[in-house]
Amino acid sequence: MTPALRTLETEELVSVSRGHPLVRHLAPHRVAGETAWSYGDAVALVNGYWDGVDQGGDIMVVGPAQDAAGLTELLARGQRRPMSVPAAAYALLPDGVLTQPHGWGFRWLETPTSPAVEGVAWLPSEAEDEVQRLLGDAFPEASFKPGDPRVRQWAGIRDGNGSLVACAADTTEAPGVGFVAAITTRTELRGQGLGRRITGWTLDRLVEREGLAALWHYGGNLAAAKVYDALGMRRLDMVAAEPALS
């Protein structure tokens, strides 16, 4: 039987997706007044997390490949918003449905990554200037910076001289889904395990607090992907693209 396209309320998004952490993470950013949909076991919402509500947001599709591909094809026609769909679903789409694809990854875990990691701590608010300098030098394109109201706190690692050499932001917004962003280390110290230490420690603290922790990364960031694989994170490969049939 062919699935039927349905419109959903926000709470139905979570239940139909079987509590998928990406849907739970993005539900608070559903663009008000916009429709959400399901098709079989796949769901989609208009998401303002990245582009912002004032820019119309993008459409996020999550679910099993066959259903997600069917939902994507239905929604792409007549849409002008960018879309993100599971990579497995993108591979099933007919030519000409989406164009200009680029990959990104969503990761999550529900158990601690490792035994206790030493030398990492939550930073006091007065350390934000140091975080700003570290990001400016090592990760100027970071999605979150000190002063952003969506950052709850910063984690950091200091060297033997007390200098900040790695940081990560707790940007949790959805209850039960801890979220880590703006992970970076001093450029000249990369390859020494600092990234794994700061990421693993921060994820573990959020798992303890929320029960689940997640993050996302650019598809081309292979070094980060290797760290997340080593930490035992589950993965959902996504493709962001433009509708070609609008």
- Each residue's pLDDT tens digit, 122-170: 999 999 999 999 999 999 999 999 999 999 999 999 999 999 999 999 9
Range 28-40 burial, b when 16+ CB lie within 10 A, else e: ebbbeeeebbbbb
With tokens 């529900």, the residue in question is 110
Q: Which helix (H) or strand (E) holds 221?
A: none
CA distance 97 to 218: 22
User: Cα–Cα–Cα angle for 209, 213, 218, nearest 5°?
Assistant: 150
* DSSP conformation class of 1: -
Contact assessment for residue 220 and residue 237, using Cβ atoms and an 8 Å cutoff? no
Locate 67 and state its tokens. Answer: 């259903």
Interacting residues of 211 by C-beta distance below 8 A, sequence separation 6+:
110, 176
Does residue 54 carry a pLDDT above 60? no
- Each residue's pLDDT tens digit, 178-225: 999 999 999 999 999 999 999 999 999 999 999 999 999 988 888 899
To the nearest 10 degrees (0 to 180), the angle between helices 222-230 and 194-210 is 50
Contact assessment for residue 4 and residue 23, using Cβ atoms and an 8 Å cutoff? no
At residue 53 the predicted structure's pLDDT band, cuts being 50, 70 and 90, is: very low
- Each residue's pLDDT tens digit, 83-122: 999 999 999 999 989 999 999 999 999 999 876 678 899 9
CA distance 139 to 143: 9
Contact assessment for residue 69 and residue 61, using Cβ atoms and an 8 Å cutoff? no
